[in-house]
Amino acid sequence: MTRKLPLLVLLCTAWLGVASPASAQAQHAHVHGLIKLDIAVDGPSIVIAMESPLDNLVGFERAPRTDAERQTVENTVGTLRAADKLFDIDPAGNCKLGPVNLQSPALGLGQASAADAAGGGGAHADLDATFAFNCTNATAVKYIDVSLFTAFKGPRQIDVQIASPKGQFQRSLKRPNTRLAWGR
């Protein structure tokens, strides 16, 4: 399973279109209030890739400057690392949270991308995350209840792409809706 995870992350990343600079720029449009999720159901795994402006999650888009902002970041990181509370996967899949990877150069999480290193990140900082779930029956999953609206004040909409053995789906959630359903 651990050997398959990097392949899944690579597939999710390629599916997002970040393999080419032009499509990466188009895919990484920075829209406050919007979170993008890409969900891949493959073999015994479900991988959720998330992209969000930092403002949606912490209320600012830079390194924290005050103790209160540092506490907000710490709380946000803790909430994201407990992804099984944010993404309640259909019990039919019998899924357990695996590795969580958080990337935000502004917050000192992960490694800076080439664009960030070149100053391409500008004043609009994002947080990218990958949440892996190990399941005994991932293909049986028909829905995920998403608690991002409850956990964070900033998001107003979540745009989702799902790739599964049942097909590819696009969904959009707006408050108060929280259930992503696909397949039959």
* Per-residue pLDDT tens digits for 101-137: 999 999 999 875 544 444 444 567 999 999 999 999 9
* Per-residue pLDDT tens digits for 36-76: 999 999 999 999 999 999 999 999 999 999 999 999 999 99
Residue 180 has pLDDT above 60, yes or no: yes
Spell out the domain ranges in the chain.
4-176
- For the CA atoms of the chain, what is the radius of gyration? 16
Q: Whole-model pTM above 0.85?
A: no
How far apart CA 153 and CA 54 sit, in angstroms, is: 12
Q: What are phi and psi of 13, to 5 degrees?
A: -65, -45
Burial class (CB in 10 A: 0-12, 13-18, 19+), 41: buried
